């Protein structure tokens, strides 16, 4: 079976935005069967809808399944993996991944982010089934604190 790569964009993003499109291209260039997802209702992402969509696309995660998630896409991947029946998956890369956010100016944005922040992720389970996690952060991100 070939190595598969799934790229999940961030909040308000799409498969066509430059970062996710570039990641998809690079994945294919290095030999991955690559899928860049368009997540449902990206302006108002919900855990249930995004995890369900990822599950429908991935179907069978295994040790040859790898993920890249930008922003809330990283959380989506983690929540998907913790709910899957997989006993082993490949690595996960997070670009500006977050568990808390700063700088959300509107109540609507705070309400959208709240379930993502308040609902716990089972990190112990994830460490058992995933080869590695890597995060890429910026020291001047206006929303994702470096710490």
Q: What is the distance of C-alpha 69 from the center of its chain?
A: 3
- Rounded to 5 degrees, φ, ψ at 140 are -135, 30
Three-state SS for 129?
Answer: helix
User: In the structure, what pLDDT confidence band is assigned to residue 47 with cuts at 50, 70 and 90?
Assistant: very high
pTM of the predicted model as reported, rounded to 2 decimal places: 0.94
Sorted by where each starts, the structural domains of the chain and their CATH numbers stand as 4-136 (3.40.50.1820)
Rounded Cα distance, 147 and 40, in Å: 29
| Distances in whole angstroms, Cα of residue 120 to Cα of each of 55, 57, 117 | 19, 24, 8
Q: What are 66's two structure tokens?
A: 């790898």
Question: Over the stretch 65-96, which tens digit does the pLDDT of each residue have?
Answer: 999 999 999 999 999 999 988 889 999 999 99
User: In the structure, what pLDDT confidence band is assigned to residue 115 with cuts at 50, 70 and 90?
Assistant: very high
Transcribe 96-128 into DSSP letters: S--SS-----SHHHHHHHHHHHHS---HHHHHH
User: In the structure, what pLDDT confidence band is assigned to residue 1 with cuts at 50, 70 and 90?
Assistant: low
pLDDT over 90 at 112, yes or no: yes
pLDDT over 90 at 119, yes or no: yes
**Residue with tokens 């082993």, as numbered in its chain:** 88
Rounded Cα distance, 99 and 147, in Å: 10
């Amino acid at each position: 079976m070939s190595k598969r790569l799934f790229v999940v964009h961030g909040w308000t993003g799409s498969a066509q935005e430059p970062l996710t499109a570039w990641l998809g291209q690079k994945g294919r260039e290095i030999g991955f069967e690559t899928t860049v997802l368009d997540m449902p209702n990206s302006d108002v992402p919900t855990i249930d809808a995004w995890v369900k969509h990822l599950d429908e696309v991935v179907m069978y995660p295994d040790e040859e399944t790898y993920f890249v998630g930008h922003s809330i896409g990283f959380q989506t991947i983690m929540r998907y993996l913790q709910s899957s029946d997989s006993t082993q998956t490949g690595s996960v890369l997070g670009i500006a991944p977050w568990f808390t956010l700063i700088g959300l100016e509107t109540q609507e944005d705070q309400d959208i982010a709240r379930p993502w922040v308040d609902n716990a992720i089972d990190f112990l389970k994830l460490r058992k089934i995933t080869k590695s996690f890597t995060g890429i952060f910026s020291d001047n991100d206006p929303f994702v604190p470096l710490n």
